[in-house]
Amino acid sequence: MEELRSAISEIANERVLKLVVSNKCNKELKYNKINFFLKENNKKEYYQIEKYTDKQVFHENIDLEDLEEKLLEYVEGNFKQVSAFSSDVTFELKISKKGKVFLGKKKSDNAKVANKSHNKEKNYILKEGMIIEPLIDLGVFTKEGKVVNSMYDKYKQINRFVELIDDEIKKNDYKELTILDFGCGKSYLTFVLYYYFVEIKKIDVKMIGLDLKEDVIKKCNDIAKQYKYDNLHFELGDINGFKYNNKVDMVITLHACDTATDYALYNAIKWNSKMIFSVPCCQHELNAQIKSDELSLITKYGIVQERVSALMTDSIRANLLEAVGYKTQLLEFIDIAHSPKNILIRASKSKISNEKKEKSLNEVRNIMNTFNLNPTLYKLLEKDNFIK
């Protein structure tokens, strides 16, 4: 123990950029390999830990001063090898079957081993240096286009949403798009998306934001004129019953509360929209309905019932979209540490076999029967014969 602690202490004192813990000897341990990376965010350094199982990667962040104890905790009795890299030294720590510790150390140029910066390691679509007026007014960018230190999380969240849209957009060479944004509110994300489509992707877009508040609509239209976003305008209206007679290529709905998301998805399906991006919010409907004699454990505890109901709601929505011809994914929109409302439904019109459509629909009906559910989107699609 003391021999291992001494070796790990020598490594930790060298300010390493990267560590790789490998050669597992404890078969009961679920992690196969563990990596440590020196990172920097908002001028504070820390270590990010990546723990690999057979199918997943788990992340953990620790302070610099906790490296020695955390490394000892993971290595002792679990692994036989540690490779560590500082800027000019490489360490190789090996532990024999009898527990003998060997520490090798050699001079080497490791300057390129790790990139400390959390924010520069990723090639964001909305880059620093771009003069994006909505991000400046939102306080994310300075007037010079630099990210405000305290707004890096918001900056990453906005980029994440744009990236999820960009993944679909780049599959086709779109020249023009008509986009409806339901429940846009006072969020500047609509303006950011308009900038992305027009200035970055060079797509001729017609974009309409919809909200229930008259003062919000007036303010948003004034801002669009201020930015000279000529093909972006906002209208007063309810998601339930909104009429639009022209083609719609994309429907966006962010945090539309409870069944408002269902009406937005329903409208998108009726318009035969090519793409749908929806971040649901406040899923109360199924929470009020859910009931099961055989699986009463799920409804025994209020907090469990609420969370399970929310997950069921989005799973049902995703399957119903598949049942009417959309390739659908449920994706993490933002880190759950920032918000529990972190699921994004991404759907694109695709050629889906009748067999897969039927399977998706049957899965919905099975869960409806099991838990006594009657979701709004199902009722709307059944009424209009989209599903039978």
DSSP readout, 227-240?
HT-TTEEEEE--ST
Average pLDDT over residues 73-82: 94
Q: How many CA atoms lie within 13 A of 53 on its CB side?
A: 8
Average pLDDT over residues 186-209: 91
User: What tokens appear for 50 in the block?
Assistant: 């990546």
DSSP-assigned letter for residue 200:
I
Task: Say yes or no: 65 and 172 in one domain.
Answer: no
Task: Say yes or no: 27 and 90 in one domain.
Answer: yes
Average pLDDT over residues 327-335: 81
The separation between CA 345 and the C-alpha centre of its own chain, rounded to angstroms, equals 10
For 156, the 3-state DSSP assignment is helix
Indicate whether 349 belongs to any domain: yes
Task: Say yes or no: 297 and 354 in one domain.
Answer: yes
pLDDT for position 334: 61
pLDDT above 80 for 42: no
pLDDT for position 348: 96
pLDDT for position 119: 47
pTM as predicted: 0.68
Indicate whether 273 belongs to any domain: yes
Indicate whether 224 belongs to any domain: yes
Helix, strand, coil percent values for the chain (each to nearest 5): 35, 25, 35
Residue 122's pLDDT band (cuts 50, 70, 90): low
| Stretch among 32-46, 78-92, 125-139 having the lowest mean pLDDT | 32-46
- The angle at the Cα of 105, spanning 99 to 107, to the nearest 5 degrees, equals 165
For helices 376-383 and 260-270, angle between their N-to-C axes, nearest 10 degrees:
30
Q: How many domains does the chain have?
A: 2
Q: How many CA atoms lie within 13 A of 314 on its CB side?
A: 27
Judged on CB neighbours under 10 Å (0-12, 13-18, 19+), 343 is buried
The dihedral sign for the CA sequence 27, 31, 32, 35: negative
Buried b (16+ CB within 10 A) or exposed e, 26-58: eeeeebeebbbbbbebeeeebbbbebeeeeeee
pLDDT for position 243: 77
pLDDT for position 186: 66
Task: Say yes or no: 213 and 303 in one domain.
Answer: yes
Considering only the C-alpha atoms of the chain, give the largest distance between any 2 of them, rounded to a whole number of Å.
77
pLDDT above 80 for 357: yes
Task: Say yes or no: 21 and 76 in one domain.
Answer: yes
pLDDT for position 182: 85
Average pLDDT over residues 364-386: 96
Task: Say yes or no: 245 and 377 in one domain.
Answer: yes
Task: Say yes or no: 188 and 330 in one domain.
Answer: yes
Q: Report the candidate in 4, 160, 140, 144 with the shortest Cα–Cα distance to residue 71.
A: 4
State which residues form the domain around 11.
2-107
pLDDT for position 97: 86
User: What tokens appear for 196 in the block?
Assistant: 């992305």
Indicate whether 214 belongs to any domain: yes
Indicate whether 260 belongs to any domain: yes
Indicate whether 122 belongs to any domain: no
| Stretch among 60-64, 121-125, 378-382 having the lowest mean pLDDT | 121-125
* Average pLDDT of the residues of the chain: 88
User: What tokens appear for 95 in the block?
Assistant: 């532990």
Higher pLDDT, 56 or 168: 168
The CA distances from residue 370 to 289, 291, 365, in Å, are 12, 8, 9
Higher pLDDT, 90 or 56: 90
Task: Say yes or no: 97 and 183 in one domain.
Answer: no
Taking the CA atoms of residue 187, residue 193, residue 198 and residue 202 in that order, the dihedral angle to the nearest 10 degrees is: 180
Task: Say yes or no: 79 and 150 in one domain.
Answer: no
Say how far apart CA 252 and CA 180 lie, in whole Å.
Answer: 6
| Stretch among 183-192, 250-259, 274-283, 344-353 having the lowest mean pLDDT | 183-192
pLDDT above 60 for 281: yes
Task: Say yes or no: 278 and 200 in one domain.
Answer: yes
In this structure, the number of other CB atoms found within 10 A of the CB of residue 297 comes to: 10
Task: Say yes or no: 77 and 150 in one domain.
Answer: no
pLDDT digits (tens, 9 = 90+) for 339-352: 456 789 999 999 99
pLDDT for position 339: 47
Indicate whether 330 belongs to any domain: yes
Share of the chain above pLDDT 90, in %: 63
Helix (H), strand (E) at residue 191: helix 189-195
pLDDT above 60 for 338: no
Helix (H), strand (E) at residue 49: strand 44-52
Task: Say yes or no: 99 and 176 in one domain.
Answer: no
pLDDT for position 337: 42
> Could you tell me the CATH number of the domain that includes residue 214?
3.40.50.150
Indicate whether 310 belongs to any domain: yes
pLDDT for position 55: 77
pLDDT above 90 for 332: no
pLDDT above 90 for 320: yes
